[in-house]
Structure 1
Amino acid sequence: MSTGVEPTITLTDEGEWWVARDTETGVTSQGKTRSEALDNLDEALAGYHGDGREPTDEELRAAGIDPENNESESTDDSEIFN
């Protein structure tokens, strides 16, 4: 399904790193090669847009989160701003 929007990606050589940026979302990633930067941008965009599933316990641990102690609290604005 086409959204009618053409993605615009900038890719720049920053010395040791290639930087890839999606100009529509502002999501940016990097890699040692052009291909790695673009692959990393694809992964970052999937996270930005959400891939429709909860992370696995293994993915949470890889991100430094202990799944057994990971509890969601209310994010009701009245609790945040009081």
Structure 2
Amino acid sequence: MGVQSRGESNGETITVTKEGRWYVARDESSGVASQGETKVEALENLAEALELHARPVADTDEDLEPSTAPWH
């Protein structure tokens, strides 16, 4: 379908393909992909997915409450 550069200076590549009735946008450097019914929707969804992908993961040991499971 098409290849678009996400930024001239960094050379990162986004590919947009059509699979059935869905457009699929994929960031080639990270492997993150998303889809939408239009190219614009697929790219917007990809932008959101990339933001979530870039978020730091919290230290889960400190954030979790002790388990109350009977097998713990």
Please say whether Structure 1 and Structure 2 have the same fold, judged by a TM-score greater than 0.5: yes
Find the partner of 1:23 among 16, 24, 28: 28
Q: Does 1:72 align with 2:55?
A: no
1:35, distance to aligned residue in structure 2 (A): 0.2
Residues 1:41 and 2:49 aligned together: no
Query: How many equivalent pairs are there?
Result: 53
Gaps in structure 1 of 5+ consecutive residues: 55-70, 74-82
Please provide the CA RMSD for this pair. 2.4
Q: Does 1:32 align with 2:24?
A: no
Distance 2:64 2:21 in 1: 39
Percent identity of equivalent pairs:
49
Task: Give 1 or 2: higher strand fraction.
Answer: 2
Structure 2, unmatched stretches of 5+, are 1-6, 66-72
* TM-score (ref. length: structure 1): 0.57
Segments ≥4 residues shifted beyond 3 Å: none
Q: How far did 1:46 drift?
A: 0.2
More helix by share: 1
